[in-house]
Amino acid sequence: MKVHVTDLKTGDRLLADTFNRHGVHILAKGTALHDAEIARLVQHSIDYVEVQQIEEVPSPSAPLNAFLFPEIKSTFDDAVLMFESLFHESMTTGKFDSELVEDIMQPLFNVLASQKDAVALLLLLNRDANYTYVHSMQVGMLSYYLALWLGYPHDQASAICQAGYLHDIGKSTVPGEILNKPGRLTNEEYEIIKTHTVNGYEIIRNSLGDTIAATAALQHHERGDGSGYPYGIKEDEMHPWSKIIAVADVYSAMTSNRVYQDKQELINVLKELYALSFGQLAPEPTHTFIRNMLPYFINKKVRLTNGEYGYIVMNHPTDFFRPLIRVSDRFIDLSLEQDLDIAEVFSDNET
C-alpha cells in the first residue's frame, strides 16, 4: 500500500527498498518504521513509500518515564528540603553538619546511578520553588552526569555531584534582601553577592575538610578568559571540578525561573552554552555536556512558538539545536522553519 510519509504510523513496515531522488539508498525493504526512520524519509524529501500498515499504534503521548514518580520525586524533594536545612545552619553557625550531607547524598546517588535520562530528571526538578535550593539540587545532578560523560568513575562523579550540590552554600552569608532582590543589583550589592564564592570555600572547608569541593565552590564563577570572579583566574588555573560545575551552574541558572529573570527554553540554552565555550566556559566539558544532553530530548513533548504541540523525533545532523518535530499530522523541520522555535519542553508526567 502506497502511503504519504505524513500518514505513516509507528510499526509500519517497508515493502520495498527506498531511494531518494539522487538514487541514494535510504532504507531497506522490511524496515519497521519508527519516528527516527520516518524523519529520515522526510529529510530526504521522499513523499510516498510502499508499506504494510499495522492496525494498532502505540500512543505517542503515553508517559515515557513513569518510573520517575513517586520514588524519585520524593528523593529529590527530600534533598531540596535538606539543603534548606544546611543553608540555614550555615547562615547561623558558619558551618553545617557533615553527617547530614551524607544522609542527603546517598539516596540521591542511588537515583542518579539507576537513571540515565538527564533531561527527564532535570524537568522533574525544574519547578517554581525557592531558586537557591532547587538550583543547588540541579547543579549537583548535572555535575554528576557530566563527570560520568567525561569518563570519571562513579565514586569521583559522586564526589563531584556533592561538590555541585554545595557550590552555592556561601549564599547563606548574603543578606536575603540582596539575594532575592527582583530588580537590578547596584554595584555595591553585586560585590556582596560575589563574596558567596569565598565564603562558600570557607564553609565547606570548615564543615567537611574537603579542599577540592571547597575550591570548586570558590571557582565556579571564574571564566576561561579571566572575566569571572572572585580572582579573575583563567582556565588553566581552574580545578577540573570547577570547570564541570561551572557548566552545570550556567545551564541550570539559565533554564530556571529566578526573581529577576524568566527561565529560557532548554535546547536554546544549549546553543548559548556552545557560544560561551569559545572563551568563557571550558570547551571540553561544555561540548561533552551538549553532545550527551541532546539525545535525551528525543521523544520529549514540546510546545512551539505558534502554539502547536508535538514531539521531538530527530536531532538535525548539522543544526543540532533545531530538531525535527512531529505534530499530529505532519513533520516540522525547525532547521528550515526559521520563524518557528521551541517555546517549552515538557516533563513526561505533564500532559
All residues at 6 or more sequence positions from 325 whose CB lies less than 8 Å from its CB, including other chains: 302, 304, 310, 311, 312, 313, 331, 332, 333, 334, 342
Please say if the pLDDT value at position 247 is more than 70: yes
* The predicted structure's pLDDT at residue 64: 38
Of 263, 270, 220, the closest CA to residue 243 belongs to 220
Please report which confidence band the pLDDT of residue 259 belongs to, taking 50, 70 and 90 as the band edges: low
Per-residue pLDDT reduced to its tens digit, 86-130: 999 999 999 999 998 988 898 898 889 888 899 988 888 766 567
Please say if the pLDDT value at position 33 is more than 90: no
* The predicted structure's pLDDT at residue 265: 87
Distance (Å, rounded) from C-alpha 327 to C-alpha 307?
11
Please report which confidence band the pLDDT of residue 260 belongs to, taking 50, 70 and 90 as the band edges: low
Question: Cis (ω within 30 of 0) for the bond into 153?
Answer: no
For the chain, the straight-line distance linking the first and the last C-alpha, in angstroms and rounded, comes to: 34
Please give the residue that has the higher pLDDT: either 45 or 94. Answer: 94
* The predicted structure's pLDDT at residue 58: 38
The whole-number average pLDDT for the span 32-39 is 77
The one-letter code for the residue type at 9 is K
Per-residue pLDDT reduced to its tens digit, 192-207: 999 999 999 999 999 9
Looking at the DSSP bridge assignments, the partners of residue 311 are 301, 326
Please give the residue that has the higher pLDDT: either 251 or 104. Answer: 251
The whole-number average pLDDT for the span 149-167 is 96
Distance (Å, rounded) from C-alpha 162 to C-alpha 209?
14
CA 328 to each of CA 30, 69, 308, 310: distance values in angstroms, whole numbers, following the listed order: 25, 27, 9, 7
CA 18 to each of CA 37, 43, 317, 324: distance values in angstroms, whole numbers, following the listed order: 11, 13, 20, 20
Please give the residue that has the higher pLDDT: either 59 or 165. Answer: 165
Please give the residue that has the higher pLDDT: either 12 or 131. Answer: 12
Please say if the pLDDT value at position 63 is more than 90: no
Angle at 183 between CA 182 and CA 188, to 5 degrees: 115
pTM confidence score: 0.82
Distance (Å, rounded) from C-alpha 286 to C-alpha 74?
30
Least confident of 161-175, 219-233, 281-295, 324-338: 324-338
Please report which confidence band the pLDDT of residue 81 belongs to, taking 50, 70 and 90 as the band edges: confident
* The predicted structure's pLDDT at residue 114: 85
The whole-number average pLDDT for the span 215-226 is 98
Query: C-alpha grid cell for residue 74?
Result: 520524593
CB 145 within 8 A of CB 174: no
The whole-number average pLDDT for the span 31-38 is 78
Please give the residue that has the higher pLDDT: either 146 or 13. Answer: 146
Of 41, 50, 42, 45, the closest CA to residue 14 belongs to 50
The whole-number average pLDDT for the span 226-242 is 97
Of 170, 172, 164, 169, the closest CA to residue 246 belongs to 164
